[in-house]
Amino acid sequence: MGMLSRPLKKLAVTVVSAVMALAAAGCTAETPVPSSSESASLPGNIPVELWNQGVPDPLRPVGLPRTVKPTQPLVATSYDEGTDTIGDWRLMDINDDRTKLVIEYAQGTPCATAKGILKVETSTAVALVPLYQSGPATPCNAPLYGPVSTVTLDEPLGDRELLHLADHGTMRSPTPAPSR
C-alpha cells in the first residue's frame, strides 16, 4: 500500500501543476464573449450572436437543372434587426475557382418584400443572407418563390466556411454539416 501512495501523490501533484499552468496561461473552458467593439466590426451590421450561431454549409451542391438560368440577385447592403427577416438558402453550384456560388433562396412568405442577398465576407467565413421584410408585395398571391441567383465573392472561398445564419430547414438537404 505504501508503494501505491507515492506514485498517486506524484500524479496528483503533476495534475494540479498542469491545471494551474493552464489557468495562469488564460486557458479556460469558457467561450470568450465578443466585446461590443468587435460586434461593430462585422460587415453588414450582422450581430455577433447571429454570426456565432451560423451553421457551416457542407459544400455539396445539389446541382443546377439545365432549364434554370441563374439571375443576378438584388443586393442588400445591411441587416436591420428590427425589420428584416433572414431566409434560408441552398447551394446549387459552385464554379472551379470558388468565386461564384449559385444558390436557391427563400424570399419569405408570398406577401413579403424581398430586400436582397447580403454577402458578408471575413477572413475565416462567408455568410450569404437572404433578407426580406413582411408587408405588401406585388403580387401578393404568388406561390412560395425560390429564385436562383449567382453570388460573386470578393475573394475565392478557399478554406473559409460558407455559413447559413438562419436555417428554417426548408431548403437544405438534411445532410449534417461538419463540425467547426
| pLDDT tens, position by position, 64-80 | 999 999 999 999 999 98
Backbone angles phi, psi at 118, to 5 degrees: -95, 125
Percent of the chain residues topping a pLDDT of 70: 62
Percent of the chain residues topping a pLDDT of 90: 36
55 pLDDT above the threshold of 70: yes
Backbone angles phi, psi at 95, to 5 degrees: -80, 170
Question: Can you give the pLDDT at residue 82?
Answer: 82
Q: Which helix (H) or strand (E) holds 121?
A: strand 112-121
Residue 125 β-bridge partners: 161
Rounded Cα gap, residues 115 and 106, in angstroms: 11
Is the overall model pTM greater than 0.75, yes or no? no
Residues with Cβ within 8 Å of residue 118, at least 6 apart in sequence: 44, 46, 75, 76, 77, 78, 79, 127, 128, 129, 130, 131
Mean pLDDT of 66-95: 90
Closest Cα partner for 118 from 168, 62, 73, 171?
A: 73
Mean pLDDT of 167-180: 44
Residue 105 β-bridge partners: 89
Q: Which of 61-70, 95-104, 121-130, 144-153 has the lowest mean pLDDT?
A: 144-153
Mean pLDDT of 100-125: 86
Closest Cα partner for 74 from 149, 127, 140?
A: 149
Mean pLDDT of 37-62: 82
The SS3 of residue 49 is helix
Mean pLDDT of 24-46: 49
Of residues 135 and 82, the one with the higher pLDDT is 82
Mean pLDDT of 142-168: 84
